[in-house]
Structure formats: structure tokens, C-alpha cells
Amino acid sequence: MTRFWFPATTGLILFATVLSAQPPVPTPSASPVDPASEPTVLAVAKVMPAVVNINAERVVRRQVRDPFEDFAAQFFGNYRSEPREVRQRLQSLGSGFIVDPAGYIVTNEHVVQRAADLKIEVTTSDGKVYNARYITGDPKKDLAFIKIEGKTGFPFINLDNLSPNLLGQTVIVVGNAVGYGSSISRGVLSGMKRDVTIENFDYKNLLQTDAAINPGNSGGPVVDISGRLVGVSSAKMAFTPQGVPTQGVGFAIPAETVREVVAEFKKVAEQQRAQPQQRQADLNQPPAGRTDRLFGMQLQDLTPELTDALGLVRGRGVLISAVEPGSPADEAGIERGLVIYRVGRHNVNSVKALEDWLSRAQSGSQVDFVVGIARSDGPRQFQTVSLTAR
């Protein structure tokens, strides 16, 4: 019988080899990744001091008649007293961001659109409140320029170093969502060069994102995880034009467009600084609409809610909210409450569209307006009225 003999040291070597072949026992990690080092957190900390909440209050003057007179006229004739002027205060909440240490701020035009006695209050992320004044705006691009009064040295977002805007990149929306200041949401850049129409306003060449854009975010910045500007929050599509609900479809004005427009805005600001101080108030007054100035009619968009309340056909016409006494419209018998459906050969369904069709009209021009009432469940009456611009 053959016997095998191994030295004692060999047994120790074999035992050590077996032990070393076993998988290593994991050791608990010293600590998880620090949230303070996350790229999103760092980006927000970088841009937040330059983001502001905007509370704008404007006074709109309208000429109205006593509703009782409309009721009484059905029984006592067509007598109408002179309309009276009412002042209506309208408030809007939005966001913006500082683009210059002197306190110049970019926001949406629809947040701070010009009106008589416009008051703008700006709150920074540290809770300080400042008064601001309207410098200028571009309604077609929905961008406006305002300035904090009497102070400099503000943190700002640099428009010289913009995001590359790559599809799929992470984007962060910062602003005053539903009135909650310093709110953020995160998503990706979903699309580019989008043309959309939301609430009768045409937007061109927008960016699309699935980051949540809520009321109050309008005018706030959209940035990448390096804190570079991607765009300006502008609109959220809740429903398609066919009425189908959407989810995660928001839009922003591209940063390149913002940089180009701000360069033009700064030229206007320079011109205003060169103007005599007494003329500054005149520069801030809004020009009257062409329909008001030339024909004496104040107009209002027919929102779905207003259309339903008046029992009108949806998606057609603009409402005549006031008629100036002695104006061409008044002399032609046009009254408040009628609807303009057509100007010349063009159907209209928004005040902006109507004003665009009248862009070439001037004093002495004759324009045909189709006015009347188109009830959703009743008779429809229309009349063509030729008005000569004053």
C-alpha cells in the first residue's frame, strides 16, 4: 500500500491558498454620496441668487355703460347716456432673472405688459423686495426688459456662456411656480424649433421640455446642470388644438433668441437714459391699439370661459368691450357687446390677429368690419360696416 507524505508546511500553504480563493467580504461604505455635490444642486445654487419673483399690477381704463340701461332700453327706447370710464386693476405673477449687475431683468412680456400706472415689484431669492420699472418689450417674442430701481451689484446669469442645448440633456426650470418662490423642476430637453399656438398667441422656434412649467414660472430661466442658460420658460400646453390632454409638454424661448433680444433692449435702455427725465413717464406709456386709435373700439379676446358665458360660437371673433363716444365706430352705430368676425377679407379670432391685419391702416383708410352675434344655440346675425379711420 502506497502512502503519500506531505510536510507540515505544505498543509499550511494549501490552507492559506483555499482562504485566499474565497471572495472578499464587503466592508460597509464610510458614507453615501453627499447631496451637496450633486450637479443639479450645484447648478441651482449657482443661478438661484439671480432669479426673481415678479408681481406686476397695472391699471386698465375702459369705457362702460350701466348694465341697467341695456335692460331698460328694451322697454323705453334706445336712449343711452354717455359711457363712463372705469379703472380696473389687474395683477399678474411671474418670474424673471437678472442679466446685468446693474439690475436689468428679463421676463415674459405677458407678465409685465405695458399699461397705464404700471407697478412692478421684484422679490429676490433672499426675500428682499425692490420696485422695478418697465424698459421695453417685444410682444412677438414675448420678452420684456425691466430694471430694479436705484441699486447695482446684483448677481446675474451670464448670457455670454450659453448651454449647447442638446436633445436629451438635463434641464432645470427655476421660478415662482404657482406663487411658491424659489421652486425648481427637472427634466430633459425634449425638442427644438417648435411652433405652437396657445390661447390665441403664436409662438415660434421654441424649445420643448418635459420639466414641469406651471403658472408663475413664466419668464424664469431654464438652465442646464452647469448653470448655463437654456432658455426662458414661456408656456405650457395643457391640451392639443383638438382638445386632447397633454402631459409633460412645456416650452421655452431659446437662449440664443434671448441674448439677441437683450442686446436690442439694452440699446433702448441707453436711449432712455439719454432722454430728459421729464419725458421718461411718456416713454413708459403704452401706445393705443390701432382699432382703438383709428376707429374708437376697445377689443377683448373671447376666452373659452367668456365665450360660454355669453353663449357664443367658440373660436370665432373678438369682443367689442367699449366704444368711444363720437368715434367712427360710434357714429356707425356699433355698440359694446357686439363681436367682430371679419376685417376686410380676413376672418379674425384674436385681438392680435385683428391688429396685424390693420397694420397698414392709417388716417383716411376705409375698412370693412363684419360685426354681429353668432349664438351657439340660436340665430346668427351679421352686418358689414364700413368705417373710415380718423
- φ/ψ of 205, rounded to 5, equals 55, 50
Residue 78 pairs with which residues in a beta bridge? none
Candidate list 100, 110, 183, 190, residue with the active-site label: 110
3-state helix, strand, coil in the chain (%, to 5): 25, 40, 35
The torsion defined by the Cα of 313, 318, 323 and 329, in degrees rounded to 10, comes to -100
Return d(Cα 258, Cα 32) in angstroms, integer.
40
Q: Which of 287, 292, 157, 272 is nearest to 226 (CA)?
A: 157
Query: If DSSP codes are grouped into helix, strand and coil, which group holds residue 26?
Result: coil
Candidate list 92, 95, 100, 142, residue with the active-site label: 142
| Residue 142 appears among annotated catalytic residues | yes
Candidate list 95, 185, 218, 350, residue with the active-site label: 218
Name the H helices within 295-345: 304-310, 328-331
Q: Which of 183, 202, 204, 201 is nearest to 193 (CA)?
A: 204
| Range 298-302 contact pairs with CB under 8 angstroms and sequence separation of 24 or more | 298/62, 298/63, 298/322, 298/323, 298/324, 299/340, 299/351, 299/354, 300/351, 301/199, 301/200, 301/350, 301/351, 302/339, 302/349
Supply the DSSP symbol for 277: G
Distance of alpha carbon 11 from its chain centroid, rounded?
81
Task: Please name the residues in contact with 37: beta carbons below 8 A apart, sequence gap of 6 or more.
Answer: none
| Active site residue ranges | 110, 142, 218
